[in-house]
Amino acid sequence: MDYEITPEQVRAKLDQQESFTLLDVRESWEFEAARIPGAKLMPMGDVPSRAHQELDPEDEIIVVCHHGLRSMNVTVWLRQQGFDKAKSMRGGIDAWSRQVDRSVPLY
């Protein structure tokens, strides 16, 4: 099963108002600097203690970070915990800013 989704595919899901959780695993200051509207902030270090309380294992979860490394690590961990529909957004918010929505600041 594929663990990644492109920023363009995420944009299409948002445009079609599909139901999924957009999980931003960056730090608070990064989230304040640039974010995708509707994203839920859960810094990577908080995921192990918060995931089972705040996320639904049945939901599609798309994980976002700055360039895609942290989000892939969180995606793999979530999959191991039974969140079978978790995916990492390839290239992170940097790719989102460059390819999908140039109004989101680069940092």
Q: What is the CA radius of gyration of the chain?
A: 13
> 47, 64, 65, 78: which is the annotated catalytic residue?
65
Integer Cα distance of 103 and 58 in angstroms = 32
Nearest to 25 by CA among 63, 79, 76: 63
Report the SS3 class of residue 42: coil
Active site residue 65: yes
Q: Which amino acid is at 76?
A: V
Could you list the active site residues? 65
